[in-house]
Structure 1
Amino acid sequence: MQTVLIVVHLIIVLALIGVVLLQRSEGGLGLGGGGGGGVGGFMTGRGQANALTRATAILAALFFTTSMVLAILSHRSAAPKSILDTGAPQTSGQPAKQPTGADNLLDTLRQQQDRAPVTAPAQPAPAQPAVPEAPQSR
């Protein structure tokens, strides 16, 4: 249903673009060409303007209608979701810690740093020469 409505919507959009481009502009330089030779004498200037204006109004109404129906269909197909219903699974051994207003990232990092085991310092790296030695030519 939604796919068919999208195809109809796109056809209406293309027709609306075509009808708008065929209309005569205020300056008289529209693609329709006006009354005399634009469409090959198919309609007079006034008749052409009335038909194109009516077609534009009808296509615009159809465009807004299909847009609203597509919006309603997409809204109904999306099921309401709550983050409270799909919480992360809790481990059975540890109770979940509830965040409080006083907890922030800095406090959490300090607590983790306090819990970290103290290890012996690693052996220092061998001393580097103060001046790099360059090979000399002989």
Structure 2
Amino acid sequence: METVVIVIHLMIVLALVGVVLLQRSEGGGLGIGGGSGFMTARGAANALTRATAILAAAFFATSLVLSLIARYGDRPIDILDRVPATQGEGGGVLDQLGGSDVPSAPAPAAPADATPPPANPPAS
């Protein structure tokens, strides 16, 4: 559902950009525009204005729908909602995220009187 709305939203955005670029400039900030444009008739300008308004309304509608889908979707809203909370075990959120193969308790030390095995066993 979300993918369909995103595709429709992108098509509306592209159409809106195209319609805005087709409109006749009235001597904008750079002083360019006017003259002989692609659509200079009064009726064409009225149609482009109406199309811009319709596409702008559709853009706002799809934006609202996408925000509602994101808010009330099945996915958790907060990243901390994805990790189950443990209490009393001493582990926090960072301990549950993983990413380390180091055991939580240190390995027991070897007894002081134990002799290490020989590095190279005798050849027989």
- Per the shorter chain, which TM-score range? 0.5 to 0.7
Q: How does 1:1-138 map to 2 (within 5 A)?
A: 1-27=1-27, 29-30=32-33, 33-34=36-37, 38-39=38-39, 45-77=41-73, 78-79=75-76, 86-88=84-86, 90-91=88-89
1:81-123 deviations in whole A, cap 9, x for unaligned? 69699324544xxx79xxxxxxxxxxxxxxxxxxxxxxxxxxx
Residue identity over aligned pairs, in percent, reads: 56
Aligned CA distance change for structure 1 residues 59 and 86 (closer, same or farther; 3 Å): same
AA in 1 matched with 2:13: V
Alpha-carbon contact 2:26-2:34 (below 8 Å) kept: no
Structure 1's unaligned 5+ residue stretches are 97-138
Inter-CA distance 89–24: structure 2 relative to 1 (3 Å threshold): same
Q: For residues 35-63 of structure 1, give each alpha carbon's deviation from its aligned partner in whole angstroms, at most 9, with x where no partner exists.
A: xxx25xxxx61101100000000000000
Check 1:30–1:13 CA distance in 2 against 1; reply closer, same or farther (3 A cut).
Answer: farther
**Cα deviation, residue 27, structure 1:** 1.7
Query: 1-side partners of 2:63 and 2:35: how far apart?
Result: 28
Displacement of 1:79 in angstroms is: 3.3
Q: Tell me if structure 2 keeps the 8 A contact 1:24–1:33.
A: no
CA RMSD of aligned residues (A): 3.2
* Relative contact order higher in (CA < 8 Å, ≥ 6 apart): 2
Alignment gaps of 5+ in structure 2? 92-124
Question: Partners of 1:83 and 1:9 in 2: how far apart?
Answer: 30
TM-score calculated relative to the size of structure 1: 0.51
What is the TM-score when the length of structure 2 is the normalising length?
0.56
